[in-house]
Structure 1
Amino acid sequence: MKLKLKTLLGAAAVIVASTLSAHAETVLKWAHVYETSEPFHTDSVWAAEEIAKRTDGRYKIEVFPASQLGKEADINQGLKLGTVDIIISGSSFAARDYKPIGVTYYPYIFRDPSHLLAYTKSDVFKKLTGGYEESTGNHIVAVSYYGTRHTTSNRPISKCADMAGLKMRVPDVPAYLAMPRACGANTAPIAFAEVYLALQNGTVEAQENPLTTIEAKKFYEVQKNIVLTGHIVDHLNTVVSKSRWESLSDEDKQIFTEVMQEAAARTTKTIEAREKALVDEFKNKGLTVTEIDKADFENNVIENVKLEDFGYEKADWEAIRAIQ
């Protein structure tokens, strides 16, 4: 009887252990640098919850906003170190590991958001993201529209030459520097989290970001002019680390991909709608909103900044420009 009881208890323990193992929760870290009010965060939280649902609770994803796990360069490095599993970050940072993908930040390469979204379905997109994955092992799962980048300044600007000598905060990323430097601005690579204070105390007198970021970070409180330079139609990638992506089953890869792409589409829709309303809202706040001749800025970039100097390939630039 004792032997039989031990056998039964042992069998029961194996069944319980197997059941627990099958439903074991894997905790993942998802990091980004954006505020909790922004769709990049709210849709990441939605995606985390949705992945938990669709995998029957096998994954718990903790989302860390507002540079809690480090600045954008830090979280990109975190993919390699294993300190984060998922990040939202721009191709400008991906270009530090695979330079050609940075061509998507070359000023005026995209006409508008619909052109950007068409690019994400193109062969040149597959080529560039494939090159990044081959270099790093990290997998770009989804792309969301970040917004069209414009300039804020305490100096009136209507043409490229008006930026000569302007002290301007720009991320320390080659493609972001192209337009300001082509127009003669003096650029400063201040960390994103420190831009408001730098504008407030006069360390710099201008910066560039999408209207939605200008709103979220309240840059309009310390700037007088919004100049609609529209120099970069910006985007963010949802990136899963090499080690995490390789650990997923094909079924889970499919779930992660579907959910993250749904989240990116939600973000894109929100950003596009918000941008349309913000010009009037900024005017109502007393800011001067200036339309510019984009051809003037674009021509200066093409004349003064060479693609090849950044490690970009002209064939990629031409292929993207040709997308309809």
Structure 2
Amino acid sequence: MLRKYAVLFGTIAALAVPIASASAQTALKWAHVYETSEPFHTESVWAAEEIAKRTDGRYKIDVFPASQLGKESDINQGLTLGTVDVIISGSSFAAREFPPIGVTYFPFIFRDADHLLAYTKTDKYKELTGGYEEASGHHITATTYYGTRHTTSNRPIEKCADMQGLKIRVPDVPAYLAMPRACGANTAPIAFAEVYLALQQGTVEAQENPLTTIDAKKFYEVQKHIILTGHIVDHLNTIVSQSRWSQLSDEDKAIFTEVMQEAAARATKIIVEREKALVDTFKERGLTVTEVDRADFEKNVIEKVTFEEFGYRKEDWEAIRAVQ
């Protein structure tokens, strides 16, 4: 009888070992809408592997690119529903939960990528991301430079008034509309996937995006001019869901934050280097690349657009502009 019990307990103990080790690893889903070739994906994969290393394999993070888990609005909702644990998304979506954080999309708030990165180390950044966390429950761990938005067109543009009556495709995001409308352009919210065809067919005669996007989507094939308006220094946030963040120990929170910020810095460096090379590339392709009077564009935006209409606070804009 004793032998039977010994065998029985031995069997139970043997079965318990794989169960315990399996439960020791936590699986997470990391989602974004960018292609696998883009640094937002490659550095997310790096971060997932690095977190696994630094936590001794306690976390297994699978990265789902190219809208595999839904459009940007879907994955933002997924944070709350618990269908995703980590996402990369723009502040325009965070602003739906906490409008003031959207001021970072207001035209000409940032001078360049370095200014954006300097802002992420300030108390104002902590205040705005903290306001988003209080409103949504979700935690922003890092911010990545996405690229500086410039304009392409089939007509030459040097100053704001040259955009009067221009038919331009702009994403249907309030702050993105500010500069073109302040300059008298007619904006059209055409779906991103349809922009090339719309430019080719003349439905619109201009669009705006970072140089890396202009290159990747081959907009240069159907546009004559690249106008370096630099009106928005765009960025993306890495966000961990409330449910996941609350379950992490302080030690793991520190690891997640450190790795995600390292990944953001790596992606930012890649984007900055690509942008520098692209100006010459576009010139070699026969396009006219024009430096504009940015002060003229900025003056028109400040005079004709209010912060309040977007739910932004002027004091936030002033504080961020003053960052050195």
Is the aligned partner of 1:58 residue 2:58?
A: yes
Give a deviation string over 1:151-189, Cα, whole Å, max 9, x none: 011222111111112221111111111101101111122
Report how far residue 25 of structure 1 moved. Answer: 4.5
Partner residue in 2 for 1:154 = 154
2:289 maps to amino acid = V
**Is the deviation greater in 246-255 or in 100-109?**
246-255
Report how far residue 84 of structure 1 moved. Answer: 2.3
**Is the deviation greater in 33-42 or in 255-264?**
33-42
Distance 1:54 1:110 in 2: 34
Report how far residue 72 of structure 1 moved. Answer: 2.2
CA contact (8 A) 1:30 1:87 kept: yes
The 5-angstrom pairing of residues 91-106 of structure 1 reads 91-106=91-106
2:112 maps to amino acid = D
1:312 maps to amino acid = Y
Distance 2:5 2:63 in 1: 50
Cα distance change of structure 1 residues 206 and 74 upon mapping to structure 2, 3 Å threshold: farther
1:21 maps to amino acid = S
**Is the deviation greater in 143-152 or in 46-55?**
46-55
CA contact (8 A) 1:153 1:223 kept: yes
Instruction: Give aligned pairs, total.
Output: 322
**Is the deviation greater in 190-199 or in 84-93?**
190-199
Cα distance change of structure 1 residues 152 and 57 upon mapping to structure 2, 3 Å threshold: same
User: Which secondary structure does the structure 2 equivalent of 1:203 belong to?
Assistant: coil
Cα distance change of structure 1 residues 74 and 32 upon mapping to structure 2, 3 Å threshold: same
Partner residue in 1 for 2:237 = 237
Distance 2:302 2:41 in 1: 35
Cα distance change of structure 1 residues 6 and 130 upon mapping to structure 2, 3 Å threshold: same
Q: 9, 20, 23: which is aligned to 1:21?
A: 23
Report how far residue 149 of structure 1 moved. Answer: 0.9
Cα distance change of structure 1 residues 21 and 77 upon mapping to structure 2, 3 Å threshold: closer
Partner residue in 2 for 1:208 = 208
1:175 maps to amino acid = A
CA contact (8 A) 1:93 1:173 kept: no
Is the aligned partner of 1:307 residue 2:307?
A: yes
Cα distance change of structure 1 residues 69 and 204 upon mapping to structure 2, 3 Å threshold: farther
Report how far residue 89 of structure 1 moved. Answer: 1.3
**Is the deviation greater in 284-293 or in 64-73?**
64-73
Report how far residue 68 of structure 1 moved. Answer: 2.9
- Gapped regions of structure 1 (runs ≥ 5): none
- Gapped regions of structure 2 (runs ≥ 5): none
What is the aligned-residue identity percentage?
78
Partner residue in 2 for 1:248 = 248
1:17 maps to amino acid = I
Distance 1:128 1:45 in 2: 27
Q: 4, 7, 20: which is aligned to 2:6?
A: 4
Cα distance change of structure 1 residues 193 and 251 upon mapping to structure 2, 3 Å threshold: farther
User: Which secondary structure does the structure 2 equivalent of 1:121 belong to?
Assistant: coil
Report how far residue 267 of structure 1 moved. Answer: 0.8
1:95 maps to amino acid = A
Distance 1:204 1:64 in 2: 33
Distance 2:188 2:73 in 1: 16
Give a deviation string over 1:254-280, Cα, whole Å, max 9, x none: 221111111100011111111111111
Cα distance change of structure 1 residues 60 and 199 upon mapping to structure 2, 3 Å threshold: farther
User: Which secondary structure does the structure 1 equivalent of 2:202 belong to?
Assistant: coil
Cα distance change of structure 1 residues 173 and 49 upon mapping to structure 2, 3 Å threshold: same
The 5-angstrom pairing of residues 29-178 of structure 1 reads 29-178=29-178
Cα distance change of structure 1 residues 29 and 20 upon mapping to structure 2, 3 Å threshold: closer
Cα distance change of structure 1 residues 240 and 307 upon mapping to structure 2, 3 Å threshold: same
- TM-score normalized by structure 2? 0.94
Report how far residue 129 of structure 1 moved. Answer: 0.2
Cα distance change of structure 1 residues 173 and 249 upon mapping to structure 2, 3 Å threshold: same
1:119 maps to amino acid = Y
Give a deviation string over 1:170-227, Cα, whole Å, max 9, x none: 1111111110110111112223333223323333221111111111222212221110
1:272 maps to amino acid = V
User: Which secondary structure does the structure 2 equivalent of 1:30 belong to?
Assistant: strand
CA contact (8 A) 1:37 1:216 kept: no
Report how far residue 122 of structure 1 moved. Answer: 0.5
Cα distance change of structure 1 residues 32 and 195 upon mapping to structure 2, 3 Å threshold: farther
Distance 1:278 1:314 in 2: 34
- TM-score normalized by structure 1? 0.94
Q: In angstroms, what is the RMSD of aligned CA positions?
A: 1.6
Report how far residue 238 of structure 1 moved. Answer: 0.8
Cα distance change of structure 1 residues 161 and 98 upon mapping to structure 2, 3 Å threshold: same
User: Which secondary structure does the structure 2 equivalent of 1:251 belong to?
Assistant: helix
User: Which secondary structure does the structure 1 equivalent of 2:290 belong to?
Assistant: strand
CA contact (8 A) 1:52 1:58 kept: yes
CA contact (8 A) 1:34 1:67 kept: yes
Distance 1:75 1:200 in 2: 32
